[in-house]
Amino acid sequence: MTTEDDDNRPARRRVTLTGISSRAWEHPADRGALSALRELRGFDDVVKTFFGMWNERGFRLMFLAGAIRVDHRQYPRVYQRFTEAASTLDVAELPELYVAQDPRINGQAIGLDRPFIVVTTGAVEKLDDDELRALLGHEIGHVRSGHAVYKTIMQILTGWLANVSWLPVGVIALRGIIAAMLEWWRKAELSADRAGLLAGQDPAASLRLLMKLAGGGDLSQIDTAAFLEQAAEYESGGDLRDSLHKLGMTAWSSHPVPVARAAELRKWIDSGEYAQIVGGDYPRRDSDGDASVTEDVKAAAKAYREDFANSQDPLVGLVRRLGGGAADLAGSAAGKAYNWVSDQSRRGRQNNGGDGTPEA
């Protein structure tokens, strides 16, 4: 059945992805990190207990007091797009959704025990129905993948970094942890972009959303092909000085730049994976318990090797020419991380009498 959007255009027919697992949209590097963490029995409980000093209720109350909670009475257009995105991703229990005052287009998923979603008034005002559906699907993807828990931890650690800036040793250790989490989070954003595309099933709308994130709400004088040309120039243009500038721009950023996100989403579409999932070929939630952390970590290492081998960045090209061993750097690091996780998980099972079945 087709429906009509607010502007009376016939809405695009969307396929309900019954029982879809978050593994379907997770970037290999994101999924590898998540699988390794999930393999540590009780890790989430330990994290939540450790960060119990941070009052999630207080953070939620801040939005309850100073933002608009969305439902069929408040921001009904947003609520309708929200339910559509959730229905397409087969999410029965909707997280709470708030609209907060901010002219920028933005959204976030927050929380440890009861993650909730916040989008800005800029997003509501500047996005059409299809773009808004993609944004809301993006945030639902974060919640379904469990990203909100680790993003909240990262935000807390960043706050701690400011508080212990007078302790050089503490800062160095904390900066290392935060840098590693930021690298993972940039991959998590690519995963959520895929979830947003699957929720809306409109590639043009997902690309428009990224264009609007880069250049505001008016696309009447902006061209998608030209925007993707920007992405190609950003990836391969310039010399080593530009490569160093890009490192400086991204190393401490939680999000890839919009042109890079557009290029990655286009690459995923062109790979055929998106069409395969919409066609019904995707992992189901009821098979999450059978997922192999070994294979997930191997896939993450492979993704990093392929990125290194195919990158057009001048600095990466120089490293490739200087030595072939650098291409295996990510794979080696991922392998060591998996060995450590497996060892810790094995010890935990021996101590607790567990059966060794990985948790979803």
Q: Are 66 and 60 in contact (CB under 8 A)?
A: no
Look at residue 282 and give its three-state secondary structure.
coil
Tokens of 189: 């954003």
Q: Is 229 a catalytic residue?
A: no
What are the strands of the beta sheet with 107-110, ordered from one edge?
68-69, 97-100, 116-120, 107-110
Catalogue the long-range contacts made by 280-286 (C-beta closer than 8 Å, 24 or more residues apart): 280/15, 282/17, 282/20, 282/21, 282/24, 283/20, 283/21, 283/23, 283/24, 284/19, 284/20, 284/21, 285/19, 285/20, 285/21, 285/360, 286/19
Instruction: Give, in order, the Cα–Cα distances in Å from 285 to each of 89, 112, 144, 290.
Output: 11, 21, 11, 10
Cα 122 to Cα 102: distance, rounded to the nearest angstrom:
6
Distance between CA atoms of 40 and 32, rounded to whole angstroms?
13
d(CA 153, CA 47) in angstroms, rounded, equals 8
Task: State how far Cα 355 lies from the chain centre.
Answer: 31
Q: Is 131 exposed, middle or buried (0-12, 13-18, 19+ CB in 10 A)?
A: buried
Active-site residue among 139, 183, 229, 273?
Answer: 139
Hey, which residues are catalytic here? Answer: 139
